Chains A and B, each alone.
Chain A
């Protein structure tokens, strides 16, 4: 079963706007990762945030992590049409288990 659940399931915005996607998870984690999947392609790793970190930036991406609420958010600033994709959070449990993925948020950026 999925550990992380993304919200919303789908999001449509205009180019230049910011896009925010959320991820909630159930049990304690060591880190949380975000991936992007373009249509017909495999997932691509975007960013990793550790459980002792609260915020991390990478270019136009900003990820926050709130372990007390068991949630994370991914913010894409100044979105572009090329950002159109599905975005997944993936969690690594405290323990020797591989990543578990949510079902993703489908982002559409309209030019």
Chain B
């Protein structure tokens, strides 16, 4: 089991540039989550997918953020244009079930992408 794989591990970019973060969930997991972690706000849920379909994107901060899941083994989170306040660690997590047994399903996290926007 390779776990959730995120790339890149670190991303440094200039304000205004497009940033794309990538995630490969654990095979067989049908839910995928994108979280953002900062010291000030802690861990915030941005968006999550079920069977490749976005279920709730109410946590996406603004239209500059978009996420896609073209298939069961790949998801992207894109920021365009990036701003310094987007600097954070972005985590992808996957799970085998949410609603069927939401409460009994631990999340499996990747090691995150540390984004720095200068």
Q: Is A59 in the interface zone, CB < 8 Å from B?
A: no
Q: Is A82 in the interface zone, CB < 8 Å from B?
A: no
Q: Is B45 in the interface zone, CB < 8 Å from A?
A: yes
B107 → chain A closest CB, angstroms:
6
Selected contact of A96 from candidates B33, B43, B93, B102, CB within 8 Å: B102
Q: Point out the residues of chain A lying under 8 angstroms from B33, CB to CB.
A: 98
Given contacts A30-B103, A96-B102, A98-B48, contact A45 B42 (CB under 8 A): no
Q: Mark B14-37, 1 if CB is under 8 A from A, else 0.
A: 000000000000000001010100
Q: Is A2 in the interface zone, CB < 8 Å from B?
A: yes
Q: Point out the residues of chain B lying under 8 angstroms from A30, CB to CB.
A: 102-103
Q: Point out the residues of chain A lying under 8 angstroms from B48, CB to CB.
A: 98
Q: Is A85 in the interface zone, CB < 8 Å from B?
A: no
Q: Point out the residues of chain A lying under 8 angstroms from B99, CB to CB.
A: 96
Q: Mark B37-49, 1 if CB is under 8 A from A, else 0.
A: 0000011010010
Complex Cα–Cα for A92 and B106 (A): 11
Q: Is A43 in the interface zone, CB < 8 Å from B?
A: yes
* Interface hits, B62-118 → A, CB 8 Å: 91, 93, 98-99, 102-104, 106-112
A–B Cβ pairs within 8 angstroms, 6 of them? A42-B4, A43-B91, A50-B103, A50-B104, A101-B35, A104-B42
10 A-B pairs with the lowest CB-CB distances in the bound complex, closest first: A42-B109, A45-B106, A30-B103, A103-B42, A31-B103, A101-B43, A92-B103, A43-B109, A96-B99, A42-B111
Q: Which residues of A contact B (CB under 8 A)?
A: 2, 29-31, 33, 35, 40-45, 48, 50, 88, 90, 92, 96-104
